[in-house]
Structure 1
Amino acid sequence: MTQARDHDGDPRPTRLFGPRPAMTGPLLPVLITVVIGLVTLLGGAGTTWLPLLAAAPALAATTQGPRGVLGVGLLAAGLGVALGSRDGSGGAALVAVPAAVLAVTAASALAGALRSRRERVLADVRSVAEAAQHALLKPVPATVGPFEAAVRYSAAAAEARIGGDLYALVPTPYGVRMIVGDVRGKGLPAVGTAALVLGVFREAAYDEPDLLAVVDRIERSLARNLGVDDFVTAVIAGCPRPGVLEVVNCGHAPPLLVRASTRIEAVEPVPPAPPLGLRALTEQTPGLQELSFADGDQLLLYTDGVIEARDRDRAFYPLVEGLERHLSDEPSRTLGAIHEELLAHVGGRLHDDAALLLIRKPLPAPLPPSQLAFPATALDDLAG
């Protein structure tokens, strides 16, 4: 499984430990046993190579269960007895090799059983994490209200499906509303805080006509539940009516607004506001910015895991330049290209969670030729 988890990508499951090559299944330990037997048989080296038969069950333990390990071990022990007897070995010399092979087989079978148990536990944890992902970070459809939309989310923790970054895009009676945020910290506490923020947002987005009231609901909930050092940076946006975009920025990275002319603007917060959960420590309150959002415009929300991703030379990923390179009329294709470029920039593994949410107001469909032609009555009127 790759480090990045694409919530809009291929839903097919992947192995916890990557695909197993064909040669690392039951074939390789048996092949090693046969090769050692042939070398001993054809080389006339007596029992010199027979102790290497213990490598076969040890290797089998890395890919097989206890039954497979025992099968390989018994084959190797039997071959050791047969070759030792053929060369005239007797007494302790004849017993030593099979005994060593059987001892390694017993230890390897136990190790294989423990490994299989750990894999089952990891698979169970993975299934729970996937269920939590779908409950917490719900998939975003390709069309939400009048907008086209796409999401890419990457959890930095190995085998994780969710982390401290959060997003949601919901249609409400007051227009489409969205949030992208970043919880301070990592691990399960961050996931719990993200779940809290998303739950309050989804409820308030349907109830509150004013976007600032939605932000206030989240702030009050976090003030009751977070520690003094905890906070959440977030951008909450909405489109209350056609052609209008509302943005509230609470200490988060500025969204990128792409005009239909492909001009990219960073929506800087005016005035700057503290992150969610810290309002009581300052006298600043978030302000609502109202911008135009015409046909063909796009809005990109993201977390700092994207813009703070570094390459080997410690250079940050240039998100604006990446958006310019990969901008298209399909949000999923745009984010897919940026996502792949981001992973290539960091060498395949992110060190922080990263989320990208892109919406686009599509251009109106052109009228069919039949509706563009003048009706016959209109031509008669013009002729008259």
Structure 2
Amino acid sequence: MGLRRRVADLWQPWQTGHALLAIPLGLIIAITVVDVLLPGDIHLGPLLIVAPAITPWLAGPWLTGLVGALAVAAQAIIAVLRDPDELFSTNHQVQIAALALLSLVIVLFSRQRERRIRQLAQVRSVSEATQRVVLPPLPHRMGPLRIASAYRAADDEALIGGDLYAATRAGNGARLLIGDVRGKGMTAISDASVIMGSFRDAAHRSATLADLAVSLEESMCRHLAEHAPHSEADELYEQFVTVLMLDIPDEDPVAQMINCGHPPPLLLHKHHVTALYPRHTEPPLGMCDLPRTGLVVDPFTFEGEDTLLLYTDGIIEARSSDGSFYPLAERVAQWTDSGPEALLHHIRSDLIAHVGGQLNDDAAAVAIQCSPRFAPGHQLKRWSTSPTHPTRATDQPAGPGRRTHHRRVPEARRAGRPPV
């Protein structure tokens, strides 16, 4: 059984890597032929060690040992073809012994390398399983919504970090969440898993979006209390999660939003990009010592063919080589006609080009496109915000010379009555 397994281990890499193995085998043949043809005072035999030295990058330890044995045999062939008596000379005996010893060392190195590769593959499979549990992929369709999501961890070898998103059906609509945990590493992943688990459980039980936010806050505070700092130095470290929650009904063009310290979402409507700022910014979840004055639900119009882009600060705070931030709203304006998947593909490619290939923070984004809910000919109106309802949406962050656009939901619709 052991011999059969060894033969299988030898045959499998030979099937997959025989084309690349032509390189060390070709080197052995070339060095042997040239060394035999050269004058007697020129010896190229020591160069045969190059063949087994490069084999671990092309194959496993068994094939590396095979190439090493062929190199030793080639050294002996060189000695015989030059002069049969030289095979037993001290010079050739030392060369053959040194070549055999170095080949053995290379085989041991290749075996250790293969072991490390298997360990890395096992760790990566565990990481992928953890990602599917903590951060499962969002469904592509949810009622009238088309959804696409993208995640990129700051560490190239990591698959998950402190950013999170989730979506689920709740009644006659969909509820979505995107968040960003302060910090990195296992602590951030632990906090993210608490929020995700609480969302999956409470999204179906909470009657309103405000109730859902309260449930998430209670879960986070309980989690932090159970993992209270054990030293005075740890007390300086605060753990919290910025969260944006959405409630999008199937048959109503008015969606609801609660923003707890998270970057405002971008609404793409007919070649225009607007940022949906909340009327009142709530503190992030987990800041349990801060009194809350009451969660404010912000309604906004989200109708057929609109696209809503949710994102974390790892995108808008990504810097280029000259230190400039990534202008998300400006870049997205070029792709307002794109579907959710294409939109995130454009953002991902453009973002990587902006930073030069490496992000310094985790980055996540979710694109939600609304399918038409109403019969043809039914026109929905858009309203501008009055001073008493300062929910604002801007093309770019407010500042000197920036024009601000506002929208609001009319009192009749907010009260449940049809608009006049």
Please indicate the TM-score interval, normalised by the length of the shorter structure.
0.7 to 0.9
2:265 aligned partner: 255
Which residue type is aligned with residue 369 of structure 2?
R
Q: TM-score, normalised by structure 2?
A: 0.77
Q: Tell me how far apart the structure 2 counterparts of residues 308 and 254 of structure 1 sit (CA, whole Å).
A: 14
Q: 1:66 to 1:23 in 2, by over 3 A?
A: closer
RMSD: 2.3
Which residue type is aligned with residue 80 of structure 1?
Q
Q: 1:48 to 1:202 in 2, by over 3 A?
A: same
Residues 178-237 of structure 1 deviation map (CA, whole Å, 9 limit, x = unaligned)? 111111122222222111110101111100011111111111111122255111111111
1:33 aligns with 2:28: yes
Q: Tell me how far apart the structure 1 counterparts of residues 347 and 262 of structure 2 sit (CA, whole Å).
A: 20
For residue 285 of structure 1, report the CA deviation from its aligned partner: 5.0
Residues 16-57 of structure 1 deviation map (CA, whole Å, 9 limit, x = unaligned)? xxxxx9798322221222222122122225462111111211
Where in structure 2 are there 5+ consecutive unaligned residues?
1-15, 229-234, 377-420
Which residue type is aligned with residue 209 of structure 1?
A
Equivalent residues in 2 for 1:259-278 (5 A)? 259=269, 261-278=270-287
Q: 1:94 to 1:135 in 2, by over 3 A?
A: same
Q: Tell me how far apart the structure 2 counterparts of residues 54 and 84 of structure 1 sit (CA, whole Å).
A: 16
Which structure's relative contact order is higher, taking Cα pairs within 8 Å and 6+ residues apart? 1
Where in structure 1 are there 5+ consecutive unaligned residues?
1-20, 368-384
- The structure 1 residue matched to 2:159, chosen from 141, 158, 161, is 161
- The structure 2 residue matched to 1:125, chosen from 115, 120, 123, is 123
Q: Tell me how far apart the structure 2 counterparts of residues 352 and 254 of structure 1 sit (CA, whole Å).
A: 18
1:170 aligned partner: 168
For residue 159 of structure 1, report the CA deviation from its aligned partner: 2.5
The answer to whether the 8 A contact 1:168-1:179 is kept is: yes
Give the secondary-structure state (helix, strand or coil) at the position aligned to 1:280. Answer: coil
1:239 aligns with 2:237: no
Q: 1:366 to 1:216 in 2, by over 3 A?
A: closer
Which residue type is aligned with residue 234 of structure 1?
V
Which residue type is aligned with residue 233 of structure 1?
T
1:144 aligned partner: 142
Q: Tell me how far apart the structure 1 counterparts of residues 194 and 57 of structure 2 sit (CA, whole Å).
A: 41
Give the secondary-structure state (helix, strand or coil) at the position aligned to 1:157. Answer: coil
The answer to whether the 8 A contact 2:268-2:336 is kept is: no
- The structure 2 residue matched to 1:61, chosen from 42, 56, 62, is 56
Aligned residues: 347
Give the secondary-structure state (helix, strand or coil) at the position aligned to 1:276. Answer: coil
Q: 1:61 to 1:243 in 2, by over 3 A?
A: same
2:335 aligned partner: 326
1:291 aligns with 2:286: no
Percentage of identical aligned residues? 36
- The structure 2 residue matched to 1:335, chosen from 330, 344, 347, is 344
Equivalent residues in 2 for 1:1-384 (5 A)? 25-44=20-39, 46=41, 48-88=43-83, 89=86, 90-173=88-171, 175-226=173-224, 227=228, 229-240=238-249, 242-259=252-269, 261-283=270-292, 286-363=295-372
Give the secondary-structure state (helix, strand or coil) at the position aligned to 2:277. Answer: coil
Give the secondary-structure state (helix, strand or coil) at the position aligned to 2:289. Answer: helix
2:410 aligned partner: none
